Amino acid sequence: MKKTILFCGAMMTAALFMTACSEDEITVSSPNNKWEELIGVTADSNQDWITAVSVKLNIEAEPGSLVTAFTIGDEIPTILGQKEMKGNGVMKLDIPQGIGDSFGLMCSNGSYTEYKRIYLTGEKSFTEDAKFVDTKATTRSVSATETISRATPHDPSLDGSSFYGTTGYSSFGGWAWESLATALPEGQNVKNNSDIIYDYEFESNGPMYISFLYGYTGNYGSRVLGYYYHSKGTYDDIVYVDISETLKYDYIDGLAKVQYQLDGNTNIWYDANFDYRDGDGLSVNKRTTTQTARQGDNAYNTLLVHKEYESRISAMRGLTFKVDVPVGKEFGFYLKLIGTSFTNEQRQNMINEGVPADRLPDVETNFTHMAFNTTGNAGQHRSGMRSYDNFTFMGLDDATKVGDMDCNDVTFGLLNEYGQPYSDKPMKVQSWTIGYEDMGMEQDFDFNDVVIQVTPNTYLHTAEVKLLAKGGTLNTELYYGNQQLCVVHEAMNVPQKSMINTSDDNASIAPVVIASDLSWPDGYTMTDNSNLFKIKATREDGTIVTVSTDSYLQNDRVPQAVCIAGDWAWPKEKTNISTAYPIIGQWGQNVKDQSYWNWYTSFIQEHIVNPYSE
């Protein structure tokens, strides 16, 4: 069944979450000896037991711009921090260790969006400059002085023109090709992926844009991209609008279809094309195009460039076109196969859908609406669309009856009415789990005596706090600075001495939100400010033990709390953390060894408690 989509601008929302820790009543003479015996190493003196990299960004951007840091390479990105710029300024944020070698930055001022890729250095903390110089321009303009390319002068036969003019380039993250390779995989039939829509039209609520992103085809025949629109419920008034030739030419209106940057060098843009054979000089594939006009110009195929440079691609942008459909009309896209004959099968299929005989195309055409197409070796679908990693990709096959049906021979990014990359999936917000030991020097290192989850919202300057588990029997209070947030057992509505969510494989008692709008001022980070969350446990003799994430500094550098990125699964009662997470020692002994930054994702199932799930 065809899916009709109401196209609207991307909205970012924040989802808030939590996590926690545990306790045991074992007395030891030397916690340092016991700790290092458990983890099997001598701990790095720079280790703070927080799975975060502290980053300071010196931002240069137009006042009023919103700068968002987020994870890349995820189905749904996670917001790591946001700052509304009132002029140039500093943005401090925590980057979870183990997310990969980089994170994304997006600067948006309402009418323009620009992306940057920030690479992790391997240091526990570092400072980086982020200059968004293009935010004064609109996404639909480009100047000749700013468009610098390494490509040598190209053959004039590779120059073509769009049918009603391009609108310049649109910026995408340097990871867009990585994301697209996951969203619409090469050589895989889109019908085999339930996340991909392969039969669809949109409902217009105003102008939108599409941007060239990727092409991988050996077809040298001319192919024309266009859009069609019609009134709801009828194809009687269907209208076709050609946009641009897609395969025959490398340059449209004097501009390369796609450009990219390497290694953060913002002075040079490199050209790319859609000819899958064109890899002259690239070491990975060494493919050579059979097109003499394309040989030796240093403008290579998008897929071959991606395979060669991978994460070195720090920025990319695509030639962009306006799609101006009257509000309320339904519309889709097509790829015309110039030089082919319109088949009787396609004629009958379109007439069966209600298209008048005098409004049929004159050549074979692949449509986003599946029923319009001819039947091929794997069905009638010729297009695929998927939102992934904060982008929405749309691709079309360039043949009709044969092919692999991966529907990405020519691929585009969808942009909203402001020219910003569109996604129908809201981002979530990074959360952090803190697990505490409540016995001070007498600890069993299961870090589940109290487990909380903190989710800072750096845009609203608030934080949410949830109680996840209570593995200690002592009467325990939770504080934020000098503010008491709760008495833990009372907040979880269980008798004192009860242990909650520390014995079974899965937490059975739902998290308790104890604060939804704590003040989280600009510049606060979990690295610097997680120590504001403290527990105070009262012993049988009336003495009070106070524990926070910086208690290791007063405890011979032995942690009494750990702060873990995301929805962490804490150890079961009386199970030390090194039993549940065997490679924590390798992480603990060298804060710069990125091989073990994701230790908290490598657990032994029988020794951990999975967070509560509905």
Q: For 219-229, what is each residue's pLDDT tens digit?
A: 778 999 999 99
The amino acid at residue 129 is D
Residue 5 in domain:
no
Helices 302-309 + 176-183 axis angle, to 10: 110
Q: Are residue 586 and residue 476 in the same domain, yes or no? A: yes
Residues paired with residue 544 on neighbouring β-strands, in sequence order: 538
Is residue 114 within 8 A of residue 419, CB to CB? The reply is no
One DSSP character per residue, 8-36 reads -----------B---------S-HHHHHH
Q: Which amino acid is at 234?
A: T
Pick from 56-65, 134-143, 257-266: least confident: 134-143
Residue 463 has pLDDT above 60, yes or no: yes
Confidence of residue 216 (pLDDT cuts 50, 70, 90): confident
Judge whether residue 238 has pLDDT over 90.
yes
- Are residue 310 and residue 445 in the same domain, yes or no? no
Nearest to 184 by CA among 328, 397, 347: 397
Higher pLDDT, 131 or 12: 131
Q: Which amino acid is at 378?
A: A
Specify whether 515 is located in the same domain as 603.
yes
Q: Is residue 598 part of a domain?
A: yes
pTM, to two decimals:
0.88
Same-domain check for residues 320 and 252: yes
Could you tell me where the beta strands, DSSP code E, fall in 324-388? 330-337, 365-367, 383-388
> Same structural domain for residues 262 and 393?
yes
One domain, residues 454 and 377 = no
Confirm whether 86 is domain-assigned: no
Q: Which two tokens stand for residue 293?
A: 């006009």
What per-residue confidence (pLDDT) applies to 111? 72
pLDDT value at 13 more than 50: no
Q: Which residues are CB-neighbours of 469 under 8 A, at least 6 positions away?
A: 20, 21, 22, 448, 450, 451, 500, 501, 502, 507, 570, 609
* Structural domain contains residue 108: no
13 occurs within a structural domain: no
Which residue among 415, 440, 464 closes a domain?
415
Q: What is the mean pLDDT of residues 57-86?
A: 95
Residue 243 has a pLDDT of: 96
On whether both 251 and 312 belong to a single domain, the answer is: yes
**Statement to judge: residues 449 and 369 lie in one domain:** no
Query: What average pLDDT score do residues 283-295 get?
Result: 88
Q: b/e per residue, 158-193, with b = 16+ CB within 10 A? A: bebebeeebbbbbbbbbbbbbbbbebbbeebbbbeb
Q: Determine the residue type at 118.
A: I
> Taking the C-alpha atoms of 589, 590, 595 and 600 in order, what is their torsion angle to the nearest 10 degrees?
60
Among 98, 48, 93, smallest CA distance to 525 is for: 93
How far apart CA 546 and CA 538 sit, in angstroms, is 9
- Phi and psi, residue 372, nearest 5°: -75, -20
Tokens of residue 165, six digits: 């003019």
Q: What is the C-alpha separation between 153 and 298, in angstroms, rounded?
A: 10
Bigger pLDDT: 80 or 154?
80
Q: For residue 300, what pLDDT is reported? A: 93
Q: Which residues of 109-207 form beta strands (DSSP E)?
A: 113-119, 125-131, 159-160, 169-173, 200-203
State whether 262 and 309 are in the same domain: yes
Residue 282 shares a structural domain with residue 398: yes
Expressed as residue numbers, the domain containing 311 is 156-415
Of the residues 386, 415, 444, which one is the last residue of a structural domain? 415
The closest of 390, 380, 437 to 414, measured between CA atoms, is: 390
Number of structural domains in the chain:
2
Whether residue 442 is predicted with pLDDT greater than 80 in this model: the reply is no
First to last CA, the chain: 31
What pLDDT, on the 0 to 100 scale, is given for residue 18?
31
Residue 587 lies in a domain: yes
Q: Is 339 left (phi over 0), alpha (psi -120 to 50) or beta?
A: left
Is residue 571 situated within a structural domain? yes
Is 438 found in the same domain as 386?
Answer: no
Residue 144 · residue 169 · CB < 8 Å: no
Q: Are residues 276 and 398 in the same domain?
A: yes
User: What is the rounded average pLDDT for all residues in the chain?
Assistant: 89
pLDDT tens digits for range 359-411: 999 999 999 999 999 997 778 999 999 999 999 999 999 988 777 889 999 99
Residue 221 is classified by DSSP as: S
Q: How far is CA 373 from CA 2, 342, 370, in A?
A: 13, 11, 6
Cβ pair 398, 219 in contact under 8 A: yes
Q: What pLDDT score does 135 carry?
A: 41
In this structure, the strands spanning 300-301 and 270-273 are parallel
**Closest to 159 in 3D by CA, of 277, 289, 294, 290:** 294
pLDDT above 70 covers a percentage of the chain that reads: 93
Q: Which of 415, 442, 474 is the last residue of a domain?
A: 415
**pLDDT band with cut points at 50, 70 and 90 for residue 27:** very low
**Alpha helices, H only, 132-195:** 176-183
In a domain, 180, yes or no: yes
Q: Which residues of 585-595 are buried (b: 16+ CB within 10 A; e: fewer)?
A: bebbbebeebe
Confidence of residue 158 (pLDDT cuts 50, 70, 90): very high
Q: What pLDDT, on the 0 to 100 scale, is given for residue 137?
A: 38
